[in-house]
Amino acid sequence: MTAGDKYSGLVRGTAFFLSGSLIAQFLLAITGLSIARSFGANDYGKYAASFALAGAFAYAFSMGIDAVVPREIARETWPASVTYMSYILPAILWGIVLSVFLISLGSLLGYSSDVMRLFVLVTPIVAVRSLSGLARSALRGIERMDLDAVIQVFSAFLVLICVGITIHMVSTITSVTMAMLFADVISMLICLIVAWRLTGSSFAFDGQILKSLMGKALPLGITFAIIGFNWRFDTIILSLFRSEGEVGLYSAAFGVVTFLGAASLVSGALLPRLSRLDAANDAGFQILWEIGLRYILIIGLGITVIACFFAPDLLNMLYGPDYSGAVPIMKILGLTLVFLFVNRFLWHALIAKGRQNSVLVSALFSSATMILFSFVLVPEFGGSGSGFVAIIRDVSLTLVLLLFAAKEDLPLPSPKLIVSVMIAAVLMFISLQLLGAQRGYLYALVVLPCSLVVYVGVLIFLGSIKSEELMAIYSSLRLRSRHSLPN
């Protein structure tokens, strides 16, 4: 058996998993857009406010167990069937307890009756989806990523179908949320049963296994919970101080920026290689760090310019003309994208070096900064204030992460690199302004590639992108293409 044969199943499963995750996210995005366009900014604001509070605690439902279960099952530390039952049964009970707590918290915060009616439905949705994720983590542990992908796509498609039918038949935001809950419960039951069958169909429970899993998962769970809270807190504060319509506009802008920021997940592909290089004390770690950080910065700033310039077109295309009021907010939120790209790369680099505590401390610091400025800016400036708070949050996170990186003797971005990327971004923006004043989808298709040529060309001229690196990437793609052709 060759090395290619040995790992072909793993590679194929990983490809299935990534493809399934992207398709599922795309289907869920369509569902959210359908709701926003069908009910308008006011009702969508109620829906977004309810999801913001529940979503802020989404990672608290799993507490990081889904991150360690695949590793422990793959290592065969304990029988897979016993491992599965030892964490899934307590997770069900914990989900019920946390849901009741969150619903009580929502009523204490003084939300309107309309928002609370949705929140009572949305909280179980978040709990059910987290439970499904915990079940699917067992499938990844037995290297059934293909089945994980199929379940993700099926779940998202079922939600889309149920929501679509309900919109056309009943057309109330409460009924649509109930349909979403129904679809998620059906998907969760299927997921629980499939994972139970494939891990061994056992009802055995071992408290020591649960204790060991929690000990390994809790630090990551707390970190993820803080990061998730940070991402939703601005919407929560906005919903407490401003109208539901303004929350809807902010959520629309936030949704587009989040969609564009999904490309930052590419930095996660570097984590395995960085981990191996660090474990071997290989000098290649610093080389990959320098190249990775440079290109992440370049990609992030380029997408930031696109988000800010095309904000009116993107919002109109995705959400419709009713959300034109979200344009100023999106232009502010768009500035967070470059920091999102850099922060995710820094997280993975520090985790590769075993510095999870550094990520936790940086998340706590940015959270404290965000909370402080939220109560100052949001009541006064509304959605725009929430956007500025998001910028302050992400900038503070970047600074602390860079400080920890410097302590690891990792080279920080040089002033020359920062200046050259900024010059390229400014010239890209100017080129977008000069290439045409008429906005529209066809305009974007023509002008955007031209502006990207300007951006990349300036970076090559200034030496931030090296021609030999582009040739190496091109040669790698050609070689991969040849290998994919049938003999």
Q: What is the pLDDT of residues 57-111, one digit of tens each?
A: 888 888 877 777 776 776 666 777 788 888 888 888 988 999 999 888 888 887 7
What per-residue confidence (pLDDT) applies to 3? Answer: 43
Query: In this structure, are residues 55 and 193 in contact, taking their beta carbons and an 8 Å threshold?
Result: no
What average pLDDT does the structure give for the chain? Answer: 81
Domain around 155: 1-235
- Asked whether residue 437 carries a pLDDT value surpassing 70, the answer given is no
Each residue's pLDDT tens digit, 233-278 = 888 888 888 888 888 889 889 888 888 887 776 666 566 566 667 7
Is the same domain home to 183 and 295?
Answer: no
Is the same domain home to 161 and 259?
Answer: no
Is the same domain home to 181 and 287?
Answer: no
Distance from C-alpha of 418 to C-alpha of 435, rounded to nearest angstrom:
26
Is the same domain home to 337 and 478?
Answer: no
- Asked whether residue 54 carries a pLDDT value surpassing 60, the answer given is yes
Ranked by mean pLDDT, the top range of 136-145, 235-244, 476-485 is 235-244
- Asked whether residue 392 carries a pLDDT value surpassing 80, the answer given is yes
Is the same domain home to 65 and 101?
Answer: yes
Is the same domain home to 275 and 404?
Answer: yes
- Asked whether residue 18 carries a pLDDT value surpassing 70, the answer given is no
What per-residue confidence (pLDDT) applies to 486? Answer: 41
Is the same domain home to 80 and 210?
Answer: yes
Is the same domain home to 221 and 249?
Answer: no
What per-residue confidence (pLDDT) applies to 238? Answer: 86
> What is the average per-residue pLDDT within 39-56?
84
Query: In this structure, are residues 80 and 141 in contact, taking their beta carbons and an 8 Å threshold?
Result: yes
Of 13-17, 34-38, 76-80, 422-426, least confident by mean pLDDT is 13-17
Query: In this structure, are residues 266 and 340 in contact, taking their beta carbons and an 8 Å threshold?
Result: no
> What is the average per-residue pLDDT within 16-40?
82
Amino acid at 205: F
Distance from C-alpha of 28 to C-alpha of 373, rounded to nearest angstrom:
31
Is the same domain home to 170 and 313?
Answer: no
For 1, what's the count of Cα atoms within 13 Å in the CB-facing half-sphere?
6
Is the same domain home to 192 and 290?
Answer: no
How many domains, the chain?
3
Distance from C-alpha of 204 to C-alpha of 210, rounded to nearest angstrom:
12
Is the same domain home to 298 and 399?
Answer: yes
Instruction: Please say which residue of 173, 200, 235 terminates a domain.
Output: 235
What per-residue confidence (pLDDT) applies to 475? Answer: 57
pLDDT band at 2 (very low <50, low <70, confident <90, very high): very low
Closest CA to 13 of 134, 139, 197: 139
pTM as predicted: 0.75
- Asked whether residue 484 carries a pLDDT value surpassing 60, the answer given is no
Is the same domain home to 276 and 338?
Answer: yes
Instruction: Please say which residue of 220, 235, 250 terminates a domain.
Output: 235
Instruction: Please say which residue of 367, 385, 413 terminates a domain.
Output: 413
What per-residue confidence (pLDDT) applies to 474? Answer: 53
